[in-house]
Amino acid sequence: MLDSFSIKVIRWPLTQSAKLLDKCGVTANQTTIFGFVLGCLAFPALVGEQYLQAMVFILLNRICDGLDGALARIQGITDAGGFLDISLDFLFYSLIPFGFILANPDQNAIAGAFLIFSFVGTGSSFLAFAIMAGKRGIDNPVYKNKSLYYMSGLTEGTETIGCFILFCLLPQYFDTIAYIFGAACWFTTFTRIYSGFHTLNAQ
């Protein structure tokens, strides 16, 4: 829901940073992989209940996720790069609640499982429509520089980052936040399935 606004805010600093990285010979795919490794470092921090340290790695991962896209727009957007980016993004998204589950399984296990279950819904509906949109040549007028059709919804990247930050700042309320955000993700899933089906059915 907020991605179209947040992208406008961060576009200029990301573009300028990407230009510097491009001059240094850094590629978009290298940035994607480096960001994923940084994101994975949040996992042991979460398991060890070092939540502020984990938040730093989460934020670094998201910065790299913005930088790889900015680099791709300079160096050329590729299907392989888009595939790598979205695959590692979804793995990272599921890794964070799993870390909270292992940190406090008695309190967080069911809520964390529910959240990961909801991520399957948002991710599968997102990717399924992107595949069909690509086959039919359907373009998204809002996200024109994406390697695949970016289907919007109530919970997008910006909201997910906000949720992860709340987890780290308020770990004692992980279960409550996870249930609320998971329910919002299911709303996104159902609206995507509904609108996606009717969009494709009308083509």
Distance between CA 100 and CA 28 in Å, rounded?
30
Tens digits of per-residue pLDDT, 54-74?
Answer: 999 999 999 999 999 999 999
Record the tokens describing residue 132, joined without a space.
């069909």
Predicted confidence band of residue 150 (pLDDT cuts 50, 70, 90):
low
pLDDT in tens, 90-138: 999 999 999 999 999 999 999 999 999 999 999 999 898 888 887 877 7
> In angstroms, how far is CA 125 from the centroid of its own chain?
14
Could you give the CA distance from residue 140 to residue 89 in angstroms, rounded to a whole number? 20
CB atoms within 10 A of CB 159: 19
How confident is the model over 65-94, as a mean pLDDT? 94
- The CA angle 158-38-162, to the nearest 5 degrees, is 20
Q: Are 88 and 36 in contact (CB under 8 A)?
A: yes
What are the extents of the domains in the chain?
3-201
Confidence of residue 3 (pLDDT cuts 50, 70, 90): low
List of residues 6+ apart from 49 with CB closer than 8 A: 103, 104, 171
Q: Between 3.40.190.290, 1.20.120.1760, 3.40.50.1100, 3.30.450.20, what CATH number should domain 3-201 receive?
A: 1.20.120.1760
C-alpha span between 26 and 38 (Å, rounded): 16
Q: What is the pLDDT of residues 5-56, one digit of tens each?
A: 667 677 888 899 999 999 999 999 999 999 999 999 999 999 999 999 999 9
Q: How far is it, in rounded angstroms, from Cα 58 to Cα 87? A: 17
- The three-state secondary structure class of 183 is helix
Contact predicate 121/189, CB 8 Å = yes
